[in-house]
A and B are shown apart, each in its own frame.
Chain A
Amino acid sequence: MNKHLFVLNIRQHWVVVVGITAVLLMYASIAAWMFNPESAEAINDFLGVLPETFIKALGFDGLGTDLTTYLANYLFGFIYLMFPMLFVLFIATKLIGKPIDSGSMVYLVATPLRRSTIAITQILFLFDALFFVFAVNFIATYAVSEIRFPGMLDVAGYLILNVITYLVIGLLASIVFFMSVLPIDYGKAQGIAISFSVYAFIANALYKLSDSLSFLQYTTIFRFIDIEQALQSDATIWLTIGIVSALTLVFLAASVWVFEKRPLNI
């Protein structure tokens, strides 16, 4: 890793990192602050009036009446997928693909830095920034929950849910990053990355709507985020974590290899 390039990334992308963190922080802290077991039941009653498919598509499939289930369903069905996805689309393609497209990459590869060092530094920044987003939000949600409802949050279950979501968003980031290092036009790479991510997001919403659409769950990486499985923390969650981590490592290793070998027309 090169610390100077890492610092350059912070300088260039801190606004997006802080912005996405702040948006999620607002949602998470307000959700934790506003929780009320009685009102949660009332909200569930209210959701029961709305069409079931509509509620499921929004990821609010039974908010639950305990704090952990309530936060998990409220945040991780929709908001904690969409905003990190936007974060990935905004940052992951800009770390290698954009500098190649603009030509500024020349000032990195015309130094003694190895291309693999450049790629690994960009990957570390991407995953550290993503970790910052999730870590700050986890800590804030935990703090607000302890202040408002001491001892009510299932910290271990909620932490595992955060970890698996971080890893799945990380897998998405590794796929998008891989697309951005391919020796194809930057605009085309961005288009493929956006299409892939949006499809994964929509398929994740649609497969819950009816049995006839349930096959879509096998076509989206967001299916790896199983809120119930995460909160129960049973043994299968470790299998999921293993598969997601392995896939992520494959895409990241492939990205470094492709960037090392590809021609740079800059």
Chain B
Amino acid sequence: MIQVENVTQVYASKKGVFDLNFTVHQGEVFGYLGPNGSGKTTTIRHLLGFSNVDEGRVLIDGLDARTDRHTLQQRIGYLPGEIAFFENMTGKQFLQFLSHLRGFQTAPRMQEMIQLFQLETQFTIKKMSKGMKQKLAIVAAFMHDPDILILDEPTSGLDPLMQMVFLDLLVKEKNNGKTILMSSHIFEEVDRVCDRAAIIKDGKIIAIEDLTTLRSQVKDQLLVSFSESVDGLFHEGIEVEEVAHLQYKISIQQNFSHVLATLAKYPVISIRSASQSIEHKFLHYYQETTHE
């Protein structure tokens, strides 16, 4: 379990993070969202014990992330947001080097991860594409089978197929009881894998949302066009809003059969989905604070 308690760090520029409080439970994927420069990476540095807090503390399974970092690093897999390697090595040499630093001859899941991400390890890192470097960083983060995963924008640079592979892996790791914090700009992937998500803006956490609750609040909506006036629709016991001439937005909340049966009585000429997504909910937070 990761516990962030009252963490504050203020830089000379007066930017930083302020009074952060959140917990990531075992077996949970915790999304960490926020605009550029909002304090995501600064927070992550504290989780890894790289920086000194001005106030507060970070505990990981009861150990202080800063003072017990050597013990904790054995159990943490970290994927940095900005990846920089020792570039005159091949991918294989780099992974072997990290295995040795962690006390392995070869890290236990190295081959499995290489195969999963179809990583070509024989090339010099300097000559690898951005996507290939990202895959190398992912393998490096997962190959020692850590209990705790801290992932800073993990799918950046991956092609859509590899993004799916990665998200499937995250779900499996979560089901295996791993504790996972993932920063991201991509709402779809947060929606897909995260159990909860915090939104940070200007160094302050402005909301922590349960994704299950958030999903239940999202309405399915249909945009329906009719060939003639349908005034009776407003008396059918469904939520209707006229958006244009002969065009209506109908909200559905678990009353699918009733809505479909009702629509069948009217001269429908087209139906399109106009559903909200989780993205709307998150953007709402972003915009709300921007307007302050």
Point out residues on B near A: beta carbons under 8 Å: 45, 48, 50-52, 70-71, 73-74, 76, 78, 80, 82-86, 88-89, 97-98, 100-103, 140
Point out residues on A near B: beta carbons under 8 Å: 2, 4-5, 8, 11-12, 99, 102-104, 106-114, 261, 263-266
B105 CB to nearest A CB, Å:
11
Q: Is there an interface contact between A110 and B100, defined as CB atoms closer than 8 Å?
A: no
* Chain A residues, CB < 8 A from B45: 263-266
* Chain A residues, CB < 8 A from B89: 8, 11
Q: Is there an interface contact between A103 and B80, defined as CB atoms closer than 8 Å?
A: yes
From A5, A11, A102, A266, residue with most partner B Cβ within 10 Å: A266
The chain A residue sitting closest to B53, CB to CB, is: A263
Q: Is there an interface contact between A112 and B50, defined as CB atoms closer than 8 Å?
A: no
* Chain B residues, CB < 8 A from A106: 78, 80, 84
From B48, B85, B86, residue with most partner A Cβ within 10 Å: B86
Instruction: With A4-B100, A111-B73, A114-B70 as known contacts, state yes or no: A263 contacts B48, CB within 8 Å.
Output: no
Q: Is there an interface contact between A107 and B102, defined as CB atoms closer than 8 Å?
A: no
Q: How far is the CA of A107 from the CA of B76 in the complex (A)?
A: 12
Q: Is there an interface contact between A108 and B101, defined as CB atoms closer than 8 Å?
A: yes
Q: Is there an interface contact between A110 and B97, defined as CB atoms closer than 8 Å?
A: no
Q: Is there an interface contact between B51 and A263, defined as CB atoms closer than 8 Å?
A: yes
Q: Is there an interface contact between B100 and A104, defined as CB atoms closer than 8 Å?
A: no
Q: How far is the CA of A104 from the CA of B82 in the complex (A)?
A: 10
The chain A residue sitting closest to B137, CB to CB, is: A107
B181 CB to nearest A CB, Å:
14
The chain B residue sitting closest to A113, CB to CB, is: B101
Return 13 A-B CB contacts under 8 Å, by A number.
A4-B97, A4-B100, A8-B89, A11-B88, A12-B86, A106-B84, A109-B50, A110-B73, A111-B101, A113-B73, A263-B45, A264-B50, A265-B50
B19 CB to nearest A CB, Å:
19
B250 CB to nearest A CB, Å:
51
* Chain A residues, CB < 8 A from B74: 112
Q: Is there an interface contact between A104 and B84, defined as CB atoms closer than 8 Å?
A: yes
Q: How far is the CA of A23 from the CA of B202 in the complex (A)?
A: 55
* Chain A residues, CB < 8 A from B71: 112
Q: Is there an interface contact between A107 and B50, defined as CB atoms closer than 8 Å?
A: no
B5 CB to nearest A CB, Å:
19
The chain A residue sitting closest to B74, CB to CB, is: A112
A264 CB to nearest B CB, Å:
4
B83 CB to nearest A CB, Å:
7
Q: Is there an interface contact between B83 and A103, defined as CB atoms closer than 8 Å?
A: yes
Instruction: With A264-B50, A266-B50 as known contacts, state yes or no: A4 contacts B101, CB within 8 Å.
Output: yes
Q: Is there an interface contact between B102 and A111, defined as CB atoms closer than 8 Å?
A: yes
* Chain B residues, CB < 8 A from A266: 45, 50, 80
With A5-B101, A106-B80, A113-B70 already in contact, 7 other A-B pairs whose C-beta atoms are closer than 8 Å: A99-B86, A102-B84, A107-B140, A111-B102, A112-B74, A261-B52, A266-B50
* Chain B residues, CB < 8 A from A2: 101
Instruction: With A4-B100, A112-B71 as known contacts, state yes or no: A103 contacts B50, CB within 8 Å.
Output: no
* Chain A residues, CB < 8 A from B51: 263-265
Q: How far is the CA of A112 from the CA of B75 in the complex (A)?
A: 9
Q: How far is the CA of A57 from the CA of B191 in the complex (A)?
A: 72
Q: Is there an interface contact between A110 and B86, defined as CB atoms closer than 8 Å?
A: no
Q: Is there an interface contact between A112 and B103, defined as CB atoms closer than 8 Å?
A: yes
Q: How far is the CA of A99 from the CA of B70 in the complex (A)?
A: 19
The chain B residue sitting closest to A12, CB to CB, is: B88
